[in-house]
Amino acid sequence: MSEDWTAVAKAINERVHELGWRQRELAERSAVSQAIVREIQHQTVERKRSARTLEALSTALGWHPQHLSALLNGRMPPTLGEPREDLNDAVSARLAVIERKLSAITEQLADLSADLAVLVRRGEGGSE
């Protein structure tokens, strides 16, 4: 699977905007040079980045340390507070993704069930 630097750049740009930060502030908070932050945000230089760089950026942005690495590799990012995954163990990493997706599907089904119950009550002449 190829690396998705576009997803990484988009996530960083959206989060920086959400936090009201400038590029320099992200660089300072993450201890990553502003030049590297700029390269990643604007995808101006394609090169392999260290896992520590992505981890520092993720942490500075208030995410799980492996958030950006997961996006880069097409996986669902872990939520803050989840244990670190052994990304060298492919089975473990894939199972973690499946578990998160199943959890999201379960939540969506619960929401749909609640919405359906409201519609059924309305159809029976009841009100909320």
Count Cα atoms within 13 angstroms, Cβ side, for 31.
Answer: 4
Structure tokens at 119: 């519609």
CATH class of residue range 1-78: mainly alpha
Would you write out the chain's pLDDT as a tens digit for each of its 128 residues? Answer: 588 999 999 999 999 999 999 999 999 999 999 999 999 999 888 788 888 999 999 999 999 999 999 999 888 888 888 777 665 566 666 676 677 778 778 889 998 998 899 899 888 876 55
Give the start-to-end residue ranges of the domains of the chain. 1-78, 85-128
